[in-house]
């Protein structure tokens, strides 16, 4: 069975990826299972660059098929910020709560009509021979006026899906996994993985 090393130590992100890739003939592991892989500095200018860097470095270090994923939130009123800095938006002592509170502060006073945003997810696959493929997914929404819901992570308690008038933090996780940016990117990744597994 093909082993896929996901280039993350984020347990919630890994859980989402495993759910969305369920059914593939893969043994999915993560950086938590490999202590000898060097730290990856995410200094790319785009989600795509960071995803590729993670996948290629982990594949090279492990000798296995690797998945690099980089995702974040882009807010129109903030010229696309926090963007690639989504995870570390609140600085050195970052946390999901601090990131969300900073976002609310920056958007204070803006009506919902001016709080349009989208999540972006880039996924790259690489093996010991190099890059296998790169795809992207996107999900549109608006930034709510307050934190709502306990599901998900990151900016999910603020990211409102207009169709449901609920945040990703409030929506059933199975529903989120059928419409999120990560779902859209990983649905494309499944096709690449299927071909790769057949060839392997």
Name, in order, each residue with C-beta under 8 angstroms of 79's C-beta and a sequence gap of 6 or more. none
Tallying the residues shown for the chain, one arrives at 200
> How distant, in Å, are the alpha carbons of 12, 44, 55, 189 from that of 147?
19, 30, 33, 31
Active-site residue (options: 33, 70, 127, 129): 70
Its sign, for the CA torsion 168, 73, 95, 187, is positive
Stretch (H or E) spanning 118: strand 116-127
Catalytic status, residue 70:
yes
In sign, the C-alpha dihedral spanning 144, 45, 137, 200 is negative
Distances (CA, A) of 181 to 17, 49, 65, 135: 12, 17, 22, 11
User: Rounded CA gap, 56 and 60, in Å?
Assistant: 6
Residue with tokens 């963007």: 83
> What residues are labeled active site?
70
């Amino acid at each position: 069975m093909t082993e896929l090393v996901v280039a993350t130590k984020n347990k919630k992100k890994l859980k989402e990826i495993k759910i969305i890739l369920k059914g593939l003939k893969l043994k999915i592991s993560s950086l938590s299972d490999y202590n000898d892989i060097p730290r990856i500095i995410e200094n790319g200018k785009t989600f795509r660059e960071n995803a590729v860097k993670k996948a290629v470095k982990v594949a090279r270090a492990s000798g296995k098929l690797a998945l690099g994923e980089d995702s974040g939130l882009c807010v129109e009123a903030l010229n696309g910020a926090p963007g690639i800095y989504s995870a570390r938006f609140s600085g050195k002592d970052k946390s999901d709560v601090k990131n969300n509170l900073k976002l609310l502060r920056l958007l204070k006073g803006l009506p919902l009509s001016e709080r349009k945003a989208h999540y972006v997810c880039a996924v790259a696959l690489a093996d010991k021979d190099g890059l296998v493929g790169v795809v992207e997914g996107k999900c549109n929404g608006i930034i709510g006026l307050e934190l709502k819901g306990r599901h998900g992570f990151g900016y999910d308690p603020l990211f409102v899906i207009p169709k449901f008038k609920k945040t990703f933090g409030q929506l059933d996780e199975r529903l989120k996994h059928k419409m999120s940016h990560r779902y859209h990117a990983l649905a494309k990744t499944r096709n690449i993985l299927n071909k790769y597994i057949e060839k392997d």
